[in-house]
């Protein structure tokens, strides 16, 4: 609980706080189980309630660095060296890019495990191609297993990894599965190895909440949870009545806080829009005043000095008047 509070307090603004709460809600095991049922072949068509038990430990939220060399940490326990995810040096690694959510899932055979990474995005990034970033993340999940999940050259012990990206505010609901394929170009030799080690799932959430049916079951759940328009009661009603997800106090609190934050973000956006409008109005009035003074024969330098306007602005207005003429 101390860590939960600390993470919330460290958020610097409403957007960051909303992002933090969204990750914590997505990190609830019942929500993760619904994602696994729709994303991982082994759990397809299973009841999410039956999948919860296969999620091992508590999902690690916003703690594990993505950067090479910092994902793992070595420690001593009972005289033995143990390598695990790096969750201890939060202050030392402050400012680094971190996996949103990472956790292990035990397969139904009770022996093998897979590693799941969930990433939440407010929209599809414009500064880079999201698939490229997803490939980097899924590759890091594989390479970081050395010395943690397998040692030396025991590459057959590499665990399957899934990097699942949830992008909000998309034009349509979508879901894509990206994985390795083997194309035989020459000959028919069968190379040994596992093609299913790398798995990327891209989930696009439309701004319009879809109806509850089998095709859009996951999209409706995630869309409702992350919506900035639905009220607390509307979200909880969908979660409880349509998906029969038990609502614990901390879950209810996170939903409540996230709804309040989204209201604040909307109000902040409206105020910024109004301020931008006021600014544009002031700019227009200033330009009209400069035009009148120029028409009266005053020099640009005199106008700039008298009204405390930037000379460049006055010259720009003068130039525009000449163009119009």
Average pLDDT of the chain is: 83
Better-scored residue on pLDDT, 175 or 4: 175
Q: What is the pLDDT of residue 79?
A: 61
Instruction: Give the number of residues written for the chain.
Output: 325
Average pLDDT over residues 58-66: 87
Q: 281-295: per-residue pLDDT in tens?
A: 567 788 888 888 888
Better-scored residue on pLDDT, 284 or 139: 139
Q: What is the pLDDT of residue 262?
A: 65
With bands split at pLDDT 50, 70 and 90, how would you rate the model's confidence at 191?
A: very high
Better-scored residue on pLDDT, 58 or 87: 58
Average pLDDT over residues 123-136: 93
Q: Residue 306 and residue 238: Cα distance in Å, rounded?
A: 63
The string of DSSP letters for 91-141 reads TTTTTS-B-SEEEEEE-TTSS-EEEEEEEEESS--SSS-HHHHHHHHHHHH
Highest mean pLDDT among 103-107, 243-247, 305-309: 103-107
Q: What is the pLDDT of residue 162?
A: 97
Q: What is the pLDDT of residue 319?
A: 80
Q: Residue 159 and residue 41: Cα distance in Å, rounded?
A: 15
Average pLDDT over residues 1-25: 59
Task: Using DSSP, state whether 297 is helix, strand or coil.
Answer: coil
Type and span of the H or E element at 80: strand 80-85
Q: What b/e sequence results for 83-109 when a residue is b if at least 16 CB atoms lie within 10 Å of its CB, and e otherwise?
A: bebbbeebeebeeeebbbbbbbbeeee
Q: What b/e sequence results for 30-61 when a residue is b if at least 16 CB atoms lie within 10 Å of its CB, and e otherwise?
A: bbbbbbbbbbbebbeeeebeebbebbeeebbb
Q: What is the pLDDT of residue 54?
A: 96
3-state helix vs strand vs coil in the chain, percent to 5: 45, 20, 35
DSSP 68: T
Q: 252-279: per-residue pLDDT in tens?
A: 888 887 777 765 455 544 454 545 555 5
- Is the pLDDT score of 2 beyond 70? no
Type and span of the H or E element at 304: helix 300-307
Average pLDDT over residues 54-81: 80
With bands split at pLDDT 50, 70 and 90, how would you rate the model's confidence at 235?
A: confident
Q: Residue 103 and residue 253: Cα distance in Å, rounded?
A: 23
């Amino acid at each position: 609980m101390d860590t939960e509070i600390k993470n919330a307090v460290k958020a610097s603004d409403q957007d960051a706080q909303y992002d933090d709460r969204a990750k914590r809600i997505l990190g609830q095991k019942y929500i993760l189980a619904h994602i696994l049922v729709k994303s991982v072949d082994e759990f397809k068509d299973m009841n999410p309630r039956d999948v919860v038990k296969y999620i091992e430990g508590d999902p690690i939220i916003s703690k594990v660095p993505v950067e090479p060399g910092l994902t793992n940490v070595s420690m001593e326990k009972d005289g033995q060296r143990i390598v695990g995810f790096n969750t201890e040096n939060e202050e030392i690694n402050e400012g680094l890019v971190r996996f949103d959510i990472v956790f292990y899932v035990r397969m139904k055979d009770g022996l093998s495990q897979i590693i799941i990474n969930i990433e939440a995005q407010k929209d599809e990034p414009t500064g880079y191609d999201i698939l490229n970033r997803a490939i980097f993340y899924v590759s890091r999940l594989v390479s970081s297993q050395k010395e943690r999940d397998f040692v030396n050259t025991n590459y057959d012990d590499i665990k399957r990894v899934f990097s699942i990206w949830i992008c909000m505010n998309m034009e349509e609901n979508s879901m894509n599965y990206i994985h390795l394929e083997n194309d035989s170009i020459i000959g028919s030799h069968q190379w040994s190895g596992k093609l299913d080690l790398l798995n990327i799932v891209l989930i696009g959430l439309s701004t319009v909440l879809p109806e509850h049916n089998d095709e859009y079951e996951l999209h409706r759940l995630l869309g409702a949870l992350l919506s900035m328009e639905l009220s607390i009661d509307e979200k909880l009603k969908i979660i409880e009545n349509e998906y029969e997800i038990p609502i614990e106090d901390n879950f209810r609190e996170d939903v409540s806080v996230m709804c309040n934050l989204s209201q604040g973000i909307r109000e902040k956006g409206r105020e910024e829009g109004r301020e931008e409008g006021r600014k544009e109005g002031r700019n227009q009035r200033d330009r009209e005043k400069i035009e009148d003074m120029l028409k009266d024969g005053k020099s640009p330098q005199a106008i700039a000095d008298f009204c405390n306007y930037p000379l460049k602005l006055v010259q720009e207005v003068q130039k525009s008047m000449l163009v119009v003429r």
